[in-house]
Structure 1
């Protein structure tokens, strides 16, 4: 797999390139948006990682130009912006995902793996399970057409479960997806998060949508799939 990284922070750029090469990806790095666009037209990349704020041309403009010119690979935005409107703008311009700075390298690697897995197997943008609808692009969950308010981590948990409906996800996989392996979180952080999500999405009249698989992890309950 070949990856292009555009990042004007040279220290961060070198760190990302180093980490990806350790993971045996083929990697090119550039320092601004203009170079990123030029390089993308010369070489074929499976994934392009773009910093939002770059000199000469910002990442969102590069993303838009890539999609206009037929680029179909993955695009991951790196940004210090966490406002919902900025996130929506990035996704609407063609980005597949975004990662807010500062971030853990293991989280970046997990997001890269997820995008590359979807490259030849696009995920549903609206995933339906009985009375539930998870809108991937809008990062929202609806039950009986009513929106359920979720925190960032609550949505990440449900998104991961919905995309992998029918599969058991280990605790380690879920920790990697939400916090990264090197994030310092307590051993019961995942259990506490699941408990909070269940309170929001379950009606108490039937077993929880999120099923505990003892000794392994969690999955969506078969009756709902």
Structure 2
């Protein structure tokens, strides 16, 4: 009897997965659509936080650290700026505000990638690690967000609209501004993907909180 129950349970689980794959148990939606919904909702929630003026700064998961080439800079003015933690925090804060502006260009790029992504094994993505789908999307985008955000960081360093950034840039003699902008864009890229992965893990942990029957159905099948 026990073996029979185990067998029937296995059959039921297999049927549930087959039903999802055949688009019959989610109102016509496929597992691929479930992955897209998971990624889009994760990204939406992440960008809702990050696009706030203090979005990067307020979250330890996404806060950008000072680029190495700034921390290792030389010169009397720069040494004075970086002497105490207060000035370091102010400078890091300014870079994080720039990251929030740069992320506005990243958000639609992620949304476009989600809509057009080719998913080879949706079932494996749904049943993988807490950030499995995010990791897959990041690999498919292959650094695209860095390219999208780079102009915002470049403009911020060249125009120096923030007085503190202006003072630092004036003191950073011999530093490649393009390389500094790229360093900041890479840090922002890492932060965005960490935030999306964090949101994906939260959705997986409690799919019912999404009120999305497709996600609830797909993420509940184990």
* TM value normalised by structure 2: 0.23
Give the number of the structure with larger relative contact order, counting CA–CA contacts within 8 Å between residues 6 or more apart. Answer: 2
Which protein has the bigger strand share? 1
Which of 1 and 2 has greater Rg?
Answer: 2
